[in-house]
Chains A and B, each alone.
Chain A
Amino acid sequence: MIDYTSASIDFSLLGPEIAVLAAAFLILITGYVKSLGKLSPAVALIGLVTALFLSLNQWGDQSSGFFGMVTCDNFGSSFKIIFIIIAILTLLMAHRYLSQKSLNRPEFYALLNISVMGMMVMANSTDLVVMFLGLEIMSLPLYVMAGMARRSPESNEAGIKYFVMGAFASAFLLMGIAFVYGASGTTDLRRLVTDYHYIAGNFKLYLYSGVAMILIGFGFKVGAVPFHSWIPDVYQGAPTPVTAFFSVGPKAAGFAVMLRLFAFGFSYIGLLSDVFWVLAVLTMTIGNIVALKQDNIKRMLAYSSIAHAGYILVALAVGGNSAVSTAMFYLVAYSLFNTGAFAVLILLETRTGCKSNFSELPGFGKAHPYLSSILALFMFALSGFPPTVGFFGKFYLFSAAVKSGFIWLAVIGVMNSFVSVYYYLRVVKVSFFDKPEVSFVPVSFSPAIILVLLITVVGTLWLGLFPQQLLEISQAAIFAFL
């Protein structure tokens, strides 16, 4: 048995977290000196890259420290790597956009790093209280980032809305943790697993209601229906690079915790599978159907992100080890092509007055054949066409469902991705087929964005054609410290 009361204070376990946090503090301290403030993106980037290497180093390591409060396992490390890559891509996309909209302040980069640090804490913990702590560290900077464009009413609305809803969700989560603690006397997930039968035998009601509230709390964060109502407004109102980050980062973090909690931790509760079944179906279906009627691409992508959360919930309904590897694979895939799609939107929005409405797209195909083809590629990936990684991700996800006998869930899933084809192809249709009424104002590129596009395009195609390595990594990631 693992010694989960490991008392060692081993700071190397926290290496990546410390690196990003140090960068954030450095930015906050130096940010007020104008000449140093300009360096803040670089400082943030250095912090993230250092953290990336430290996390890569942690791969294969299985240890625990700080009295079981901090753990280090493949599961956590791989999610850390995902978060860091997402953050790096966001940073590269954000820099020019923010300076163009005169939002380029050092705080943004500090907030980004702090938020990433919170995600890492979430993914890396087997203690409910530490998870909550991580969630709050992640969320508070996000509220500020959503409302960053303080002269834009939409952005203000997004910030306030996200804050109120997020606080509400946190309250649920905390109450749930309290219930679980009340039932079991511990917040350590590993103790909850080992003593499960005793706890469930004596305090079933408290345990179950606690778990339900935890589920609601994280359901808010990942945008599962019926806890999704904040998503569209926040996504549309927030500055686009921030939205890009929202749609993948916190979502991945939320799923990291959910996977640890529900696929490993509370996997004994058989009822959970049914709950996730219903949640998955609702989330996919409502996300996809409402997305059909959107006139704004950011809003459409907001609903599409709800739908994609639904696909990942399919993995949770399936449960077990295959849930973890398929969900992780899908999250990597989704992060790649979704970030890519937002990168194109960010480029489009650098034109004055562009708000990413469908009506602004006609003529795009003609004015920018390559860029619009890239956007089309991401749309095909989102709707799950081969040979993109979007197809293989869905294939792998639904294969896990069919393998465990959830054939109807798989059928509902593929029917949903059928519905989604319509609205994703609408982007392609409008940008290529529709005749422009006014001539399309060309966009201007920046090297950082080209790099982001390069990474996402190559990733989307390469992983779609040769997914073997990522598959092996995601299958190795199930070695969680539990």
Chain B
Amino acid sequence: MESQILTLVTFFPLLGAALLLLVPKERHDSIKSISLIISFITLLLSFWLYAMFEPLANGMQFEVNIPWIASLGISYHLGIDGISLLLIVLTTVLNLLAILASFNSITEGVKGYYISMLLLATGMLGVFCSLDLFMFYVFWEVMLIPMYFIIGLWGGVRRIYAAIKFVLFTMFGSLLMLVAILYILFEYHSFAGEYTFDMIRLAQMPLGHQAQLWLFGAFALAFAIKVPLWPFHTWLPDAHVEAPTAGSVILAGVLLKMGTYGFIRICMPMFPEATVTFVPYISVLSLIAIVYGALVAMVQKDVKSLVAFSSVSHMGFVMLGLFALNLQGMEGAVLQMINHGVSTGALFLIVGMIYERRHTRLIEQFGGLAKVMPVFSVVFLIVTLSSIGLPLTNGFVGEFLILLGTFKANVWYAVIAASGVILSACYMLWMYQRIFYGKVTNKENEGLLDLSIREKIVVLPLLLLVFWIGIYPKPLLDRIEPAVKQVINQMGRSGTVKFDEDFSIEPVLADRAAEHELIVNVESEGK
């Protein structure tokens, strides 16, 4: 049982989807309760996984490795480290809340909807568990299909356009990734004489600089579209705005993380030299994303698209932290991946709640809601502040670590990035002010009901997470740190990239990053 726990967590939602197929489509209540129970059990399984996880152990845990398509070296290979562990828990939490939040908003095609949600969960969990590139790719693609239906069938007015755009953007990147995967496969074959898709073994293969650059490019394009890094972000506002609430929650909360996860799991260990070469470019794109996302968010009239653009900005932070290439930056980035999932997931959930009441998301339609819906306005405020990154909320810890790491790598990057924090306070608080303060100007808002019990249950876990991570992030950081160290170790293993012994002080590296001379020749230093 214990050795199969990852299989169980990953495929339990699939089992639920199969179960739902047997339920007659008119029986909405049974469909809802089955999918709720299934996702709750998945959540419990992921908690169990969390409890059994050894924070201090090195390497992958709960590994399963069974040959699948032996003649091509493809195996059913699952395993997790601290990074994947946290993302798995995030996925199961958000999945449960998203399902709970859809009970009232989805009235048509109920059966198909919950089947899609559960399939989506399996796809996302699979991405975070896979240690085999082929499997990773399969899950990465599979997850597109349910999302396509969720946006296209249950979305807003321009849902069809948004769904197609989402699929085409993601496909474009991932198909080039496929060619890159194949290239690595055959490179490994000529290196080691056998075929394997094992990420860990592939990362041990030395690759030429030129090849690394191309391969990094192919993978990075796929991941950057998913993150989305500026200028590949244009699918995101459409998809987020048009998707139903649960779809937006999953999109922003989990799907975007698959991109950054790809960078840290695949790009960095496999192509360390190329990673270092690309640092300035990706950092600049991240900075543009931070500032651009924030500025565009400021002028949005629709709350949901405001949150969508804020995602662009926040994911820019994550990317910047990752490519600071030091312990603080990367740790902060991973933590911020979780934080962004929690905060933005919560934002989309509560925006969905107000949309269910008023069927509009335009900021100008609201005003003075604090008087009508006191509980709601408190919840909204907490989430807003956590998204801004106020101390004692989760956003602060992540952003602080990222800025710390970035500062070490390059002062100017940190300065520009810090402006993003200020801008985020501007647009979030301004939005909050326009919706909640002042007098009730619109008569339709007068009779709005405050949060129901179900809605309170939906937001409560996320609020707890906001404060827990904000006040005591140590349990999370304890699990992230060994994993990040391991990635840094893997990068250092090739010998062409050097990190300091304790991973913490890298002035040497940082200075050179500024001069674009990051590749330290270890041979000369070794002598």
Closest to A410 in B: B179
Closest to B144 in A: A385
Contact of B182 among A399, A418, A421, A468 (CB under 8 A): A399
Q: Complex Cα distance A425/B175, Å?
A: 16
Chain B 126-160 interface residues, beta-carbon cutoff 8 Å to A: 137-138, 141-142, 144-145, 148-149, 152-153, 159-160
Chain B 155-185 against A: per-residue CB contact (8 Å), 1 yes, 0 no?
0000110011001100110011011001101
Which of B67-75, B315-323, B361-369, B481-489 makes up part of the contact surface?
B67-75
Q: Complex Cα distance A402/B163, Å?
A: 31
Q: Is the CB of A410 within 8 A of B182?
A: yes
Q: Complex Cα distance A414/B137, Å?
A: 14
Measured between beta carbons, the chain A residues less than 8 angstroms from B138 are: 386-387, 391
Q: Complex Cα distance A398/B176, Å?
A: 12
Q: Is the CB of A468 within 8 A of B163?
A: no
Measured between beta carbons, the chain B residues less than 8 angstroms from A34 are: none
Q: Is the CB of B163 within 8 A of A398?
A: no
Q: Is the CB of B71 within 8 A of A421?
A: no
Measured between beta carbons, the chain A residues less than 8 angstroms from B160 are: 429, 433-434
Measured between beta carbons, the chain B residues less than 8 angstroms from A422 are: 164, 168
Q: Complex Cα distance A403/B182, Å?
A: 8
Q: Is the CB of A402 within 8 A of B182?
A: yes
Whole-angstrom distance from the CB of A458 to the nearest CB of chain B?
15
- Do A429 and B152 form a contact, CB below 8 Å, given A385-B145, A422-B168? yes
Measured between beta carbons, the chain A residues less than 8 angstroms from B164 are: 422, 425, 429
Measured between beta carbons, the chain A residues less than 8 angstroms from B412 are: none
Q: Is the CB of B176 within 8 A of A411?
A: yes
Q: Is the CB of B168 within 8 A of A421?
A: yes
Chain A 335-373 against B: per-residue CB contact (8 Å), 1 yes, 0 no?
000000000000000000000000000000010010000
Q: Complex Cα distance A28/B393, Å?
A: 83
Is the C-beta of B495 less than 8 angstroms from some C-beta in chain A? Answer: no
Q: Complex Cα distance A428/B145, Å?
A: 11
Q: Complex Cα distance A341/B154, Å?
A: 26
Measured between beta carbons, the chain A residues less than 8 angstroms from B167 are: 421, 425
Chain B 189-217 interface residues, beta-carbon cutoff 8 Å to A: none
Measured between beta carbons, the chain B residues less than 8 angstroms from A434 are: 160
Q: Is the CB of B175 within 8 A of A468?
A: no
Closest to B25 in A: A369
Q: Complex Cα distance A403/B141, Å?
A: 23
Closest to B184 in A: A402
Chain A 441-482 interface residues, beta-carbon cutoff 8 Å to B: 466-468, 471-472, 475
Q: Is the CB of B142 within 8 A of A387?
A: yes
Q: Complex Cα distance A425/B164, Å?
A: 8
Measured between beta carbons, the chain B residues less than 8 angstroms from A471 are: 69, 71-72
Q: Complex Cα distance A174/B171, Å?
A: 44
Measured between beta carbons, the chain A residues less than 8 angstroms from B71 are: 468, 471-472, 475
Whole-angstrom distance from the CB of B219 to the nearest CB of chain A?
14
Q: Complex Cα distance A402/B69, Å?
A: 19
Is the C-beta of A97 less than 8 angstroms from some C-beta in chain B? Answer: no
Measured between beta carbons, the chain A residues less than 8 angstroms from B152 are: 429, 432-433
Whole-angstrom distance from the CB of A25 to the nearest CB of chain B?
43
Q: Is the CB of B25 within 8 A of A418?
A: no
Q: Complex Cα distance A81/B167, Å?
A: 37
Q: Complex Cα distance A19/B373, Å?
A: 80
Is the C-beta of B503 less than 8 angstroms from some C-beta in chain A? Answer: no
Q: Is the CB of A398 within 8 A of B179?
A: yes
Q: Is the CB of B168 within 8 A of A418?
A: yes
Is the C-beta of B48 less than 8 angstroms from some C-beta in chain A? Answer: no
- Do A385 and B176 form a contact, CB below 8 Å, given A399-B72, A429-B152, A433-B153? no
Q: Is the CB of A386 within 8 A of B141?
A: yes
Measured between beta carbons, the chain B residues less than 8 angstroms from A468 are: 68-71
Is the C-beta of A247 less than 8 angstroms from some C-beta in chain B? Answer: no
Is the C-beta of B473 less than 8 angstroms from some C-beta in chain A? Answer: no
Contact of A414 among B112, B148, B178 (CB under 8 A): B178
Closest to B70 in A: A468
Q: Complex Cα distance A411/B185, Å?
A: 16
Q: Complex Cα distance A391/B145, Å?
A: 13
- Do A418 and B141 form a contact, CB below 8 Å, given A399-B185, A433-B153? no
Whole-angstrom distance from the CB of B22 to the nearest CB of chain A?
12
Measured between beta carbons, the chain A residues less than 8 angstroms from B175 are: 414-415, 417-418
Q: Complex Cα distance A387/B167, Å?
A: 16
Is the C-beta of A246 less than 8 angstroms from some C-beta in chain B? Answer: no
Is the C-beta of A171 less than 8 angstroms from some C-beta in chain B? Answer: no
Is the C-beta of B186 less than 8 angstroms from some C-beta in chain A? Answer: yes
Closest to A395 in B: B178
Q: Complex Cα distance A446/B182, Å?
A: 43
Measured between beta carbons, the chain A residues less than 8 angstroms from B168 are: 418, 421-422
Chain A 231-248 against B: per-residue CB contact (8 Å), 1 yes, 0 no?
000000000000000000
Q: Complex Cα distance A425/B161, Å?
A: 12
Q: Complex Cα distance A101/B454, Å?
A: 56
Whole-angstrom distance from the CB of A324 to the nearest CB of chain B?
15
Is the C-beta of A262 less than 8 angstroms from some C-beta in chain B? Answer: no
- Do A402 and B171 form a contact, CB below 8 Å, given A425-B148, A433-B152, A467-B69? no
Q: Complex Cα distance A386/B143, Å?
A: 10
Is the C-beta of A334 less than 8 angstroms from some C-beta in chain B? Answer: no
Q: Complex Cα distance A476/B285, Å?
A: 50
Q: Complex Cα distance A396/B185, Å?
A: 12
Q: Complex Cα distance A418/B175, Å?
A: 7
Chain B 337-360 against A: per-residue CB contact (8 Å), 1 yes, 0 no?
000000000000000000000000
Measured between beta carbons, the chain A residues less than 8 angstroms from B182 are: 395, 398-399, 402-403, 410
Q: Is the CB of A402 within 8 A of B179?
A: yes
Is the C-beta of A380 less than 8 angstroms from some C-beta in chain B? Answer: yes
- Do A385 and B142 form a contact, CB below 8 Å, given A425-B164, A471-B69, A472-B71? yes
Whole-angstrom distance from the CB of B225 to the nearest CB of chain A?
12
Whole-angstrom distance from the CB of A68 to the nearest CB of chain B?
33
Chain A 377-429 interface residues, beta-carbon cutoff 8 Å to B: 380, 385-387, 391, 395-396, 398-399, 402-403, 407, 410-411, 414-415, 417-418, 421-422, 425, 428-429
Q: Complex Cα distance A418/B152, Å?
A: 19
Q: Complex Cα distance A417/B144, Å?
A: 15
Measured between beta carbons, the chain B residues less than 8 angstroms from A417 are: 175
Measured between beta carbons, the chain A residues less than 8 angstroms from B72 are: 396, 399, 471
Measured between beta carbons, the chain B residues less than 8 angstroms from A402 are: 179, 182-183, 185-186
Whole-angstrom distance from the CB of A272 to the nearest CB of chain B?
23
Q: Complex Cα distance A403/B69, Å?
A: 18
Contact of A418 among B69, B171, B185 (CB under 8 A): B171
Measured between beta carbons, the chain A residues less than 8 angstroms from B109 are: 366
- Do A433 and B163 form a contact, CB below 8 Å, given A385-B144, A467-B69? yes
Measured between beta carbons, the chain B residues less than 8 angstroms from A415 are: 175
Q: Is the CB of A414 within 8 A of B142?
A: no
Chain B 51-89 against A: per-residue CB contact (8 Å), 1 yes, 0 no?
000000000000000001111100000000000000000
Closest to B135 in A: A386
Q: Complex Cα distance A366/B68, Å?
A: 37
- Do A386 and B178 form a contact, CB below 8 Å, given A399-B72, A399-B185, A432-B149? no
Whole-angstrom distance from the CB of B28 to the nearest CB of chain A?
15
Measured between beta carbons, the chain A residues less than 8 angstroms from B70 are: 468
- Do A418 and B137 form a contact, CB below 8 Å, given A380-B145, A402-B179, A402-B186? no
Whole-angstrom distance from the CB of A204 to the nearest CB of chain B?
34
Q: Complex Cα distance A403/B175, Å?
A: 17
Whole-angstrom distance from the CB of A376 to the nearest CB of chain B?
8
Q: Is the CB of B179 within 8 A of A407?
A: yes
Contact of B178 among A366, A398, A432, A466 (CB under 8 A): A398
What are 5 A-B residue pairs whose CB atoms fall within 8 Å in the complex? A398-B178, A399-B185, A418-B171, A422-B168, A432-B149
Add 18 more A-B contacts to A433-B163, A468-B68, A471-B71 (CB < 8 A): A366-B109, A369-B25, A380-B145, A385-B144, A386-B141, A395-B182, A398-B178, A398-B179, A399-B72, A402-B179, A403-B182, A407-B183, A410-B179, A411-B176, A411-B179, A433-B153, A433-B160, A468-B70
The 7 closest A-B pairs by CB, nearest first: A414-B175, A402-B182, A386-B138, A433-B152, A399-B182, A386-B141, A433-B160
